[in-house]
Amino acid sequence: MFTVKSLLKDWVSSRSMKSTFDWLDDRTGYRGLLKEVLFESVPGGARWRYVWGSTLTFGLMVQIITGLVLWAAYSPSSQTAWESVFYIQHEMTGGWLLRGIHHYTAQVMTILLVLHMGQVLIDGAYKAPREVNFWTGLILLLLILSISLTGYLLPWDQKGYWATKVATNLAGVVPVFGEHIQRVIVGGPDYGHHTLTRFFALHAGVLPVLVMMVIVGHIYLFRKHGITPAHPGKKKRRDGWFWPDQIFRDAVACLAVMMVVLILTLRHHGAELTAPSNPAERFPARPDWYFMFLFEFLKYFPGKSLIIGGLILPALAVVGFFAMPIVASKWPWGHKANLIYSGGFLFIFATLTAMAFNHDAKDKEYQFAKKIAQRDAARVMELAQSPEGIPPIGAVELLQNDPYTQGPRIFASKCASCHTYMGHDGMGKPQNEPSAPDLYRFGSRQWLAGFVDPDQIETIKYFHGTAFVEPDENGKKSRMVRFVKDLENLSEEGKAQLSKIVAAVSAQADLSYQEEMDAKDAALIQEGTDLFFEGIEGVDATCADCHGFDGEESEASFTPDLNGWASRQWTIDFTKNPSHPKFYGKNNDRMPVFEEEKIFTDKQIEMVVDWLREDWVRFASGDN
């Protein structure tokens, strides 16, 4: 019967093939090498617990493959790093998958390093004569963590930028040479192009080459000394062979690792990319999870003791691991002490990590900052994918000119000391003592209807806390407030008329979100315009007594002109100078004449106004 196996066997042992292989072996000696590599005896038989080293080698191979392809699409400079990673993530076919695999393999490798080392320690495989092998392993661990650290910066996003800033600033703490070390790492006095080129050279060149060199030594030494039998004293299991006994187990383990990486990648749709780095925009810097324990640790070393927690103790902990083979050979209790030391280290690692995450989960400031950062990230992706795309100067410009994300920031810092937006400061923090109207959907029918509601005009949503509700020397509140208060006993007909006027005035605002409604209600708006001049049933005064409207100017002075009320230009002009005779004139309460005080730039005023009007660029894909 022909089976695949017999066919293969026939082919390999056929005369012509055999002579070809003989020729090759004669010139290269490959058979001897293959025998050396594959037919290694595994004392005590193949075991699952020996797979960790192979999974790490596999992980490294995955990183080399994915890393080289990422390299072919990455551009390290402060104008192109984020932009090229964005392009990989969102534009290139399968880019997110490739980047995700690279990212999550790095995460998984950190865990595999711990498992591999744990197995070596528990089995005592670090003891004589394997000291040097253990040390090369520790060097590999440090090198791989360094690769992770340098890779974190490369997307040049807020997350990588701020976390790496903390890490490199730690280097500056080193006495005497700290500043110089930091400068050499960062590539200058400031973060910039050369920080990226240097980190990239380390991440993709220097460190991987070192890793390969040390790995060759590591595997050579491992083969020289062979596997450490798990229980040398106990009854012997039959010896096995590396090929295929152990390799089969290794292959299954590597496949499982790949599965885990794929599941993580698919679940998170690849690795995160936050907003482009911006030195003026704060970001709650956090390192990757496996460095969180160090991050937490730093909080306990205030002031000058920073060097102890940031550098000396971590370095001592590493020295402790390097000393293990010596400790084990010098003292009979050495091995146990090493296990206790490792266990203790793991315990501290786990406790500090849990504490760090727990603090963050409870920290409202952090959660708030994180939300803002996520919103910025989502928005910048949307802008970068818009037809306008990313300008040559870089994506950081996209957010700087974006009303949707900058509007609320400007509002919070310049307007929210008096105004509110849905009761908060624009960014989501509660504003408890407003002294000027809430500007959420200012100009809309809904806003205006509330304003002319006798029950609402004096609340914090409108004139509460303003001079307009304060009685003057004659004991009278402002005319507008008195007018609205008098609307209390309006007839049904009067109410209907009022709402028509509201629709007419609100139509002046020309709000994009009200556009459809305004077009549909054209007749009603016309009626409202007439009523503005004619007045409402049962009310003596008309709106036109005080306000200009429909092309007419008002005879009254110092009352806002309602021609183009709440339109973009009207609101910009008003913000620049509310004391203009066209607006409040001398009746202006406390609103600053921003035009003179230069609190805002013109661009900032435009961005706040566009944000209030909800006039920011929208794209089909995103709903903000």
Partner 1 sequence: MKKSDSAKDDRREFLEKAGSICAGCAMLGVPAAAGIAVVLDPLRLPPKDAEFIDVTTLDSLPPDGTPQKYVIKADKQDAWSRFPDRVIGAVYLRRLKNDTIQAFNVVCPHLGCAIEYRDVEKDYFCPCHNSDFALEDGAQGRGSPSARPLDSLETKVEEGQVWVKFQNFQTGIAEKKPA
Per CB under 8 A, residues contacting partner 1 are 77-79, 162, 165-166, 169-170, 172-173, 178-180, 183-184, 186-190, 192-194, 278-286, 295, 298-304, 306-307, 310, 363, 365-366, 369, 393, 400, 413, 417, 429, 592, 596-599
Q: How far does Cα 405 stand from its chain's mean position?
A: 15
- Residue 426 structure tokens: 């624009």
Residues 6+ apart with CB under 8 A from 249: 46, 47, 48, 50, 51
- Residue 498 structure tokens: 């009022």
- Residue 610 structure tokens: 């566009």
CB-nearer residue toward partner 1: 57 or 182: 182
Q: Are 187 and 177 in contact (CB under 8 A)?
A: no
Q: What gap in Å lies between CA 36 and CA 223, rounded to an integer?
A: 9
| Least Cβ distance, residue 63 to partner 1 (angstroms) | 25
Phi, psi of 289 (to 5 degrees): -55, -35
Burial zone of 400 (CB within 10 Å; 0-12 exposed, 13-18 middle, 19+ buried) = middle
Q: Are 78 and 373 in contact (CB under 8 A)?
A: no
| Least Cβ distance, residue 441 to partner 1 (angstroms) | 25
CB-nearer residue toward partner 1: 267 or 429: 429
CB-nearer residue toward partner 1: 97 or 427: 427
CB-nearer residue toward partner 1: 426 or 548: 426
Which of 247, 211, 250 lies closest to 67 in space, CA to CA?
211
Q: What gap in Å lies between CA 331 and CA 457, rounded to an integer?
A: 84
| Least Cβ distance, residue 574 to partner 1 (angstroms) | 18
- Residue 175 structure tokens: 């006495």
| Least Cβ distance, residue 80 to partner 1 (angstroms) | 11
Residues 6+ apart with CB under 8 A from 122: 339
Q: How far does Cα 123 stand from its chain's mean position?
A: 41
Helix 178-186 vs helix 193-201: crossing angle, to nearest 10: 90
| Least Cβ distance, residue 392 to partner 1 (angstroms) | 11
CB-nearer residue toward partner 1: 65 or 206: 206
Q: Are 184 and 319 in contact (CB under 8 A)?
A: no
| Least Cβ distance, residue 299 to partner 1 (angstroms) | 5
Q: Are 207 and 151 in contact (CB under 8 A)?
A: no
CB-nearer residue toward partner 1: 77 or 588: 77
| Least Cβ distance, residue 195 to partner 1 (angstroms) | 9
Q: What gap in Å lies between CA 132 and CA 584, rounded to an integer?
A: 83
Amino acid type, 580: H
Q: What gap in Å lies between CA 569 and CA 574, rounded to an integer?
A: 8
| Least Cβ distance, residue 436 to partner 1 (angstroms) | 14
| Least Cβ distance, residue 580 to partner 1 (angstroms) | 17
Q: How many CB atoms lie within 10 A of CB 40?
A: 16
| Least Cβ distance, residue 384 to partner 1 (angstroms) | 19
Which of 266, 275, 270 lies closest to 374 in space, CA to CA?
275
| Least Cβ distance, residue 161 to partner 1 (angstroms) | 11
Q: How many CB atoms lie within 10 A of CB 544?
A: 19
287 preceded by a cis bond (ω within 30 of 0)? no
The position carrying tokens 């999974």 is: 55
Q: Name residue 424's beta-bridge partners.
A: 421, 430
Upper half-sphere CA count for residue 477 (Cβ side, 13 Å): 16
| Least Cβ distance, residue 282 to partner 1 (angstroms) | 4
| Least Cβ distance, residue 302 to partner 1 (angstroms) | 4
Tell me the C-alpha to C-alpha distance, in Å, between residue 497 and each of 142, 450, 462.
77, 15, 22
